[in-house]
Structures are given as C-alpha cells and as structure tokens.
Structure 1
C-alpha cells in the first residue's frame, strides 16, 4: 500500500498560513489536540520545509516529557526536510537531496502510513503545483489577518477538490478535509 501525502494547514479566513503560533493559540482546545493526535498517529513521517523544520527541531525535543506519547511520536518519527541551504539535519531528519518533487514522489510510492506535511508554505505550494497532495486538511481559524506572507495555492494550476469531511471545533475553528475531485 503506497503512502498518502496529507497536508494539514492552519489557515485564516483571508487565506493566510503565515506564522500561526502568533494568531492560532487563542483557538486551541482539547478537540483540536485530539484531531492533531489522530493525524500524527496515522503518519509514519513528516515532510517539512527548512523554516518549519528549524522551529519544530528547536521546540519539540524540550517538550518531549510534557507532551507524553504525542511528543514521543513527534520526536521519534522520521522527518524529510526540503531545503536549498541545509546540508545535514538532526532530530531524526533527512535533508532531501536533488529534485524535491521527484524525491517526495518516491517516498509516497513506498509502503507505510501517511506522509504528513505541516505548515511549510513553500513546500505546500510546490507539492500542490505538482499535484502530489492526496488530502488537504485546512484548519480555518475565525480571524482575518489582513496581510501575510504565505497565502495558499500561489503556484498550483486550477483544480477542483472534493469535500470529504468537516469538523467544527468549539473555538470556531472549522477543519475542512478535501481530496482531489478525481480521486
């Protein structure tokens, strides 16, 4: 069984995914934690861009004990990092060498659980452009930033997605899950 590439993104009402730690925390709740745990435990590896990798690698090892089994899984699972500048990585991570699209497509052909893409705006847009994302999960937060650096789908061609699930969290966050319309 080949792996699914699942992109999960924190998004504002005006379509930005920029620096979610600054605006998403007031909307966190137990149900959001349960959702994030389900998707993490369905995954065998993380796909990360360099900036997201560096932020996660700086934070997660220090949170291992306080986050329990979630933190253990997050710290121990393999990570694949797309970067034009890193030559090596720690935190159980491998820097993707060569053609990122080709290498991630190869990873998706292997047996295993989901490849989970979290944040990583440039990588998200690259994989969307090349139609490599099997499932999109948008955690739409009830906030308008008015400005930001990372809108969704900056380079992807027009395509239709099929809504397969919606989850409404008590804080007003709505999680929309989409597949490709042709899937």
Structure 2
C-alpha cells in the first residue's frame, strides 16, 4: 500500500503559505528565501527522489505547471517533470503538465490511489488539499520544515476543528540555517 507523505514549509507561528513571496498576497511573503542552503536543498532532492508520484491541489499544481516544465536539465526539475502527478480539483478540466491526472473526489479517489502500486505519494504545499486529507485520515506521514521566523498570520494546516490527531516522531534534523525538519507518522486512533 502506498503512503501519502505531506511535506510543508512552515513558520514558527504555523503559517504554511507564501514561502516564495508571490504565491499569495502577504506583507511578509518571501520568508523562506534567506534560509536556502545546500543541506536543505539536499534534503528536498532526496525527499523527491524517494517517492513514485506527486499529489497536488489545483493552486499548487498551477504554480508548479507554470514553472517546472521550463526547468528541464536539473536533477530536481527532471524528476518533477517525469513523476506522475495527481491533481485534485473539482474545476480543472485539463492538465497539460507531463504525466498529470485529474482527480475530482479527494476522499474516494485518493483512498483508491493509495491501494495501487508505484511508490509513495508526496504532497507539496497544497494546504487546502492537505486539510481535507488530514480530516479524512488519508495522511500517513507529515514532514514539516520549520523556519525560524514568525510572519504574524496566514494560512495554517490545523484549523480549530477540535478533532484529536496524534503523531509519532519518526525523524528530526537541524540544519545550519536554524531550519528544523520534523518527520511524523500519523497514529490511527481507530486501531
């Protein structure tokens, strides 16, 4: 059975949006740029190389599809372009990026996708999709790359829905920049 692995850039105050500065309107956009370093880059390359597919929400898909096809020739760009990409969207009718497949039903189609062969599935960003995956117990692993910055507000993964979720620390790593990676396995509260 394939695992759904969520990977997020997150601030100390729990914000997951606008790391690049132009994804959303935010006065503190671009917060991630000053923490770029070879060790964090290697972590992301290794992470991508360990999976068999990507699962993306429509907004993240649109951003990625507008950028990564023009990045052929780099190991990361070639991998992004080659991997199968599943985009969850009720409104998207056509997905032109190489190896892209549209899923309309996040719960049933993602649950079915997990039963297929082909390696684990990595979810980049896609906060709205991730919220739905978490609410429906479809996330197997959560990887948070915590940046030592607080930006004072924005989109967060965990809403005040008062639903208990438990996680078990699988791995942690501190980079020279002060960025911390926390990898958690989800705990099934029904077993």
TM-score range, shorter chain: over 0.9
Q: Which runs of 4+ in 1 moved over 3 A?
A: none
Q: Which runs of 5+ in 2 are unaligned?
A: 21-29
- Aligned residues: CA RMSD: 1.4
| Among candidates 83, 102, 106, match of residue 108 of structure 2 | 102
**Structure 2 counterpart SS, 1:84:** coil
Contact in 1 for aligned 2:71/2:78 (Cα 8 Å):
no
- Please tell me whether residue 160 in structure 1 is matched to residue 166 in structure 2: yes
Deviation sequence 1:95-115 (CA, Å, 0-9, x none)? 113x21110111111122110
Number of equivalent positions: 178
Spell out, residue by residue over 1:130-157, the C-alpha distance to the aligned partner (whole angstroms, 9 max, x if none). 1111000000000101011x11122582
**8 A Cα contact 1:16 1:145, kept in partner:** yes
CA distance in 1, matches of 2:90, 2:34: 34
Q: Supply the distance in 1 between the matched residues of 2:182 and 2:162 (Cα, whole angstroms).
A: 19
**Partner residue of 2:84 out of 65, 78, 90:** 78
Deviations 1:83-133 (A, max 9, x none): 122111011211113x21110111111122110000000000000001111
Q: Which consecutive unaligned segments of at least 5 residues does structure 1 have?
A: none
Q: Distance in 1 between matches of 2:5 and 2:107?
A: 15
For 1:62-141, list aligned pairs within 5 A. 62-65=70-73, 68-91=74-97, 92-97=99-104, 99-141=105-147
Match of 1:36 in 2: 44
TM-score, normalising length from structure 1? Answer: 0.93
